[in-house]
Structure 1
Amino acid sequence: MKPFLHIAFLLSVSFAVAQSGLYNSGNFTVHNDAQIGLYADLINDANFDQSNGLIGFYGNRPIIVSGSIPPTLWDTEIMMDSDVFLQTPLMVRNNVNFILGNFLTPTNIPAVKLNFMEDGFFTGESDVSKVTGFAEVNNRSVFSFPVGDEQQLRPLTMNAQGAAPSAICAYFFENPSAPSSILESFDTEEKVNNIGEVSEREFWILQSSAPTQVTISWNTRSNLIGIPNATAESLIVVGWSKASNQWVIIGNAAFSGDITNGFVTSETFVPNDYAAITFGTVPLPTDTFAVNNPTLGDYFLSPNGDGTNDFLVIDGMEESPNNSLRIFNRYGQKVFEKINYTNEFRGVANTGSMVPSPANGLPEGVYFYLVTLDDLGLEYTGFLFLDK
């Protein structure tokens, strides 16, 4: 059986424990397979970066992690009826096991965060156990941040072009125009003309220097249905531009869901250029084509050579010769792209890392399409079913 030490009262050369907490002023190391359970505060003022065991947070009262030197743990877990409050960064080299309770950080101090180091990962994240505040990763290209507020897990997934030296993320269930937990505000009325409305319910902060796509989701609490004239097809990712101090369109690369629940993957952008990210809508259309075509609909394609539905015909694209068509699979991967589309799609991919041979074509199933009509300034989304 692995040794497990419940810290309550202990005294040694390297560290001391009293009822108020464990104080490390020497060289504190947890060796391989050792396990320590903390039920009191951790104050770290010395080297604490060579541990290879588990240090967990337990009990029924809040625990504070503080000190002049951020502690670096190998494995940690949280299973408590309250939360762990970080007043200094907490670094994790291997695994964070979320069971019950949150890691809380000061929302106005991004430098204090739960840091998943180069090989760090996590398990068990949920509405009752996550990071409420800022989480960080180092040297990653893909990562899903287990962030949220006290009530819900609201993750943000990043997909960077190359490893991002540092990426920091937090979620806020607050009105961007008047957030209560940070000093900045992002007026939802300050926006470029091609944004209709900006969500007043929630936003994320993501900071990274690497060009990145993000995937964020909405649910019933997001209340996007409460935005006037909002439809699922009108939703777009928007960001508060640091350069112009207004909301601008970041754009969508993939989308799935309805106005109540769904997710969207953004176009590529540099997070450091934006102070906040949330959902917006395109303006209510006023031109004749858009009014007559609020959606282009869903399509059925059976490219079997019988002369019926052998290729994708999208009605109305001839009204905008400058157009584009993008098609994504159910994982959000782009499988087809054509500028100035004229009925070329026959179920065969022309882009992506796994383009099959024309003889095989794409697998049968449901795909998501994105059509832009540049001459009319319109964008449409929908689904197509590919039958083999």
Structure 2
Amino acid sequence: MKNLFHISFFLFGVLGHAQTALYNSGNIRIHDQGQLGFHTDLINDAAFDENQGLAGFYGNDQIYVSGAFAPTFYDMEIANPTGVLLQTGINNLNNTNFVVGDFLTVRNQSDVYYNFLQNAFYVGDSDISQVDGYAAVTQQANFTFPIGDGVQLRPLILQSESENPLAKCAYFFENPGNPTSIDDSFDPSIASRELGGVTGVEFWRLEGNIPSIVSISWNERSNIAALTEEVANLMVVGWSKAEKQWVPLGPTAGVGELTSGFASSESFIPDDYEAITFGTLDVPEDFLDLENYIVSANGDGINDILMIPELLELSPNNHLKIYNRFGSLVFEQENYTDQFKGYSNVSNFVIDREQGLPADVYFYIVTMDDLGLDFQGFLYLTR
């Protein structure tokens, strides 16, 4: 009863100043199995970090989170189509459930972000529910940032050599040479000699001090066809703080087609670069196309297993990698014969792993070591 009285008292006090909000100055706590639903703003001016249970943001009116302290919640949920605007950050200890609506941050203030702590994860991210602005991760080495621009989910996959004390990322559907939401600019025409071009459509900003590999994906809105006609010529590029120009972060070639695909970098330190996006090599790398395959992993004996005849016939010494549409590695096998049956065999964020990978379009890369050739193609997984 004491906690309930405390909350209502400060609600009255804030309402008396014509501002509808829950004001926390201490002594509020969500206990195990407890649930607290926010339908109004949260002003957090005291420690709010010993919570368990669920904190949810609901309703149809945009909710503001502000105050001197970033609250720390155990489980979180957002089901508010107009979103939650963060004027101070939020920390998540366990799970975030994206249902509808975005956590929004101001893109020219990277010190305010939605922070996934050491064991935190999320489910349900989509075009209608994401972090529209800066998301961060603390004490994790591998993480996929559930970020976008409020219209589309545009994640960045981070694979670091060790746990990040703090890494944060935001996506910008803006011309890097003339962005509207930040003061800095990164002219696509200013690039090192190795590069043939840099996109003027979109970019990501990633902060972190641990050497890392990143993967980013493109879609129809990315207009990759305006940059190149050869997907294999695509690579990840970064705006170097030291050189004040775009430089290659590859040379890993792009995988997919002009309307959908991804590219991965080599290891680099994110804090050495202001922005990341897609560029092209001045001299294209040659990739040959194999067939596109269908795997219907339903146990009917027809196309249940991925079979690539060229591997058995021409190159027993090979290396197969399969990626999902966002560029996350889901299967890897050296000297592949017939091991892929629709299940992931690598450590990643696949949910319900025992149920198998979801039906979708996947990309594969085959390195034929016997021939010194690289091949790529599409894989259509059905169930």
TM-score range, shorter chain: 0.7 to 0.9
Q: Is the 8 A contact 1:10 1:16 kept in 2?
A: no
Question: Equivalent residues in 2 for 1:307-318 (5 A)?
Answer: 309-311=313-315
- Give me the whole-angstrom Cα distance separating, in 2, the residues matched to 1:161 and 1:283: 29
How far is 1:311 from its partner? 3.2
For 2:81 and 2:309, how far apart are their aligned partners in 1?
Answer: 53
**Deviations, residues 182-229 of structure 1 (Å, cap 9, x unaligned):** 1111110110111111011111111111111111110000000122x4
Match of 1:330 among 322, 326, 331: 322
Identity %: 42
Sort the Cα spacing of 1:132 and 1:195 in 2 relative to 1 into closer, same or farther, 3 A.
Answer: same
Please show how residues 64-213 of structure 1 align to structure 2 within 5 Å: 64-213=64-213
Could you say what secondary structure the match of 1:68 adopts?
A: coil
Question: Aligned pair in 2 of structure 1 residues 168, 303: CA closer, same or farther (>3 Å)?
Answer: closer
* Structure 1: gaps spanning 5 or more residues: 314-325, 337-344, 355-364, 372-378
Please tell me the residue identity of whatever aligns with 2:211: P
The 2-side partners of 1:330 and 1:266 are apart by 16
What is the alpha-carbon distance in structure 2 between the residues aligned to residue 188 and residue 254 of structure 1? 19
SS at 1:77 equivalent:
strand
Instruction: Kindly provide the amino acid, as one letter, of the partner of residue 200 in structure 2.
Output: E
Letter in 2 for 1:11: S
**Aligned-partner residue type, residue 41 of structure 2:** D
Q: CA deviation at 1:12?
A: 4.0
Tell me which structure has the larger Cα radius of gyration. 1
Matched residues in 1 for 2:267 and 2:76: separation?
A: 33
Q: Which residue of 2 aligns with 1:317?
A: none
Q: Letter of the aligned partner of 1:149 in structure 2? A: D
Deviations 1:231-264 (A, max 9, x none): 1111111111111010000004464311110122
Change (3 A) 1:112 1:330: same
What SS class does the counterpart of residue 196 from structure 2 fall into? Answer: coil
Distance in 2 of aligned mates of 1:133 and 1:384? 33
Q: Deviations over 1:39-69 (max 9, x none)?
A: 1110011111111121111111111100011
Unaligned runs of 5+ in 2: 292-307, 324-328, 339-344, 347-361, 379-383
Counterpart position of 2:242:
243
Q: Tell which deviates more after alignment, 158-167 or 125-134.
A: 158-167
Q: How far is the alpha carbon of 1:329 from its aligned partner?
A: 1.5
Q: Which amino acid aligns with 1:383?
A: Q
- Cα displacement (A) at 1:275: 0.9
Equivalent residues of 1:11, 1:17 under 8 A apart:
no
Q: Does the Cα contact within 8 Å between 1:239 and 1:278 map onto a contact in 2?
A: yes
Aligned to 2:375: 382
Secondary structure of the corresponding residue to residue 233 of structure 1: helix
The residue aligned with 1:262 is 261
Q: SS of the counterpart of 1:129?
A: coil
Preserved contact between residue 14 and residue 24 of structure 1 (Cα < 8 Å): no
Structure 2 CA distance for aligned equivalents of residues 45 and 225 of structure 1: 50
Moved more, 236-245 or 25-34: 25-34
- Structure 2 distance, partners of 1:366, 1:141, is 24
Cα RMSD (Å) of the superposition? 3.3
Alpha-carbon distance between aligned partners in 1 of 2:102 and 2:10, rounded to the nearest angstrom = 32
Answer yes or no: is 1:368 the counterpart of 2:372.
no
Secondary structure, aligned partner of 2:94: strand
- One-letter code of the match for 1:264? A
Q: 1:36 to 1:265 in 2, by over 3 A?
A: same
Asked if structure 2 preserves the Cα contact closer than 8 Å seen for 1:188 and 1:198, the reply is yes
Q: CA 1:312–1:196 in structure 2 vs 1: closer, same or farther (change >3 Å)?
A: farther
- Is it true that 1:63 corresponds to 2:55 in the alignment? no
> Would you say the 8 A contact 2:320–2:336 is kept in 1?
no
Structure 1 residues 93, 311: closer, same or farther in 2, change over 3 A? closer
Partner of 2:20: 20
- The question of whether the paired residues in 2 share the 8 Å contact of 1:16 and 1:22 is answered with no
Alignment deviations for residues 309-336 of structure 1 (CA, whole Å, 9 cap, x no partner): 44389xxxxxxxxxxxx94421447766
Separation (CA, whole Å) in 2 of partners of 1:328 and 1:80: 42
- Measured in 1, the distance between the counterparts of 2:320 and 2:181 equals 38
Amino acid of the structure 1 residue aligned with 2:111? A
8 Å Cα contact 1:311-1:347 kept in structure 2? no
Could you tell me whether the CA contact under 8 Å between 1:15 and 1:23 is conserved in 2? Answer: no
What is the rounded CA distance, in whole Å, between the counterparts of 2:233 and 2:373 in structure 1? 8
Contact 1:103 1:132 (8 Å CA) reproduced: yes
2:217 corresponds to: 217
Contact 1:238 1:250 survives alignment (8 Å) = yes
C-alpha separation in 2, matches of 1:60 and 1:367: 42
